[in-house]
Structure 1
Amino acid sequence: MATLTLEKKQKYQRVINILALVIPIAVAAILGIRQKVDLGAWTKVLPHVIGVINSLTALLLLAGYYFIRKNNRVAHRQMMTGAFILGALFLVCYVLYHISNKSTPFGGTGTVLRSTYYFLLISHITLSIVVVWFVLRAVYFGYSNQLTEHRKAVKYAFPIWLYVSITGVIVYLMISPYYV
């Protein structure tokens, strides 16, 4: 029985590792396609939807943190599940926008403003790639009731995911005046 459990854990770990590699590679490949697909004018609202999704994700992450501190595991799980679902929705909206619209260049001027924007953007993108593995592990360990492993994953997943969500909102606010 212990061998079966170990094999099952290894299977899930392998799936998590594969997804953590495939998701960012697939997104990068999709974004690298220069020919845009005409999905209609409705896709122009997606950056605003993404800004709202990132805001709600940050709020759910903070609420989840609050609830676990209050030892309310049910509410914590609901908040974190909501944040995970929003993350998936974000990914869909992000891909739909970028396969159908050209990237919007940052129009801000001044060394400090431009440096701040690009620092936030680059750190946001880099950490959004890194956090996938931690979040998938945290969700798996949480749902499979492996709380010791869940806590280890969350030690990194939570602050990185919160940073990615908040910087996503800040980057959106900084570039939103330049959307056509």
Structure 2
Amino acid sequence: MKSSVEQKYNKWIVVLSIAIPLVVALLFGVNLRKLGYDVKPLSFLPPIYAAINGITAIVLVIAVWAIKNGKQKLHENLMKFAICLSVAFLAMYVAYHMTSDSTKFGGEGIIKYVYYVILITHICLSVIIIPFVLVTYVRALAQRFDKHRKIARITFPMWLYVAVTGVIVYLMISPYYHY
């Protein structure tokens, strides 16, 4: 039986899991400069949000270490920090794409296919991870730690993959940015 805390947040989990990818997809297609707004391209953001992805990966690994070593409060704080980092990443990512032209990957041969496999899996999992993170967090909030642990075993590797591949995608495409 679900706790009242879980029931309270389930609607929000569904709404956010649908709304976030839709809003990002819609805003991704909006370029304020092309619409005539006098905004400067935020071309300084990609290395910052790539670094945020890297920090998120480190925070996730430390958070798992913390819980495995009985440091529940540290784990809790690190996970809240990881969620904040992911929100900051998302805001910067959208802001960059709303003010800058998309960068095309310029690599050729096998590296081009490697890049697109990493990019596509990164994008797909970045959408899929949203409800997993939210459900995992709410189960901890509801103190349903048995259920929290069960889903966290799925959430952690997916979230870690998204964070790490975010850095890899940036490193692979960074030579093609026009600053």
Aligned partners of 1:74, 1:129: CA distance in 2, in Å?
Answer: 28
Aligned partners of 1:11, 1:69: CA distance in 2, in Å?
Answer: 29
Aligned partners of 1:161, 1:87: CA distance in 2, in Å?
Answer: 10
Runs of 4+ in 1 over 3 A off after TM superposition: 34-39
**Contact preservation (8 Å) 2:119, 2:169:** yes
Aligned to 1:103: 102
Structure 2: gaps (5+ residues) = none
Aligned partners of 1:150, 1:167: CA distance in 2, in Å?
Answer: 25
The alignment yields a C-alpha RMSD, in angstroms, of: 1.8
Answer 1 or 2: higher relative contact order, Cα 8 Å, separation at least 6. 2
Aligned to 1:12: 9
TM-score (norm 2): 0.91
Aligned partners of 1:126, 1:135: CA distance in 2, in Å?
Answer: 15
Aligned to 1:26: 23
Aligned to 1:155: 153
Aligned partners of 1:135, 1:19: CA distance in 2, in Å?
Answer: 11
For 1:126, which of 102, 107, 124 is the aligned residue? 124
Q: Which amino acid aligns with 1:65?
A: V
Aligned partners of 2:136, 2:115: CA distance in 1, in Å?
Answer: 30
TM-score (norm 1): 0.91
Structure 1: gaps (5+ residues) = none
The offset of 1:34, in angstroms, is 5.0
Which of the two has greater helix per residue? 1
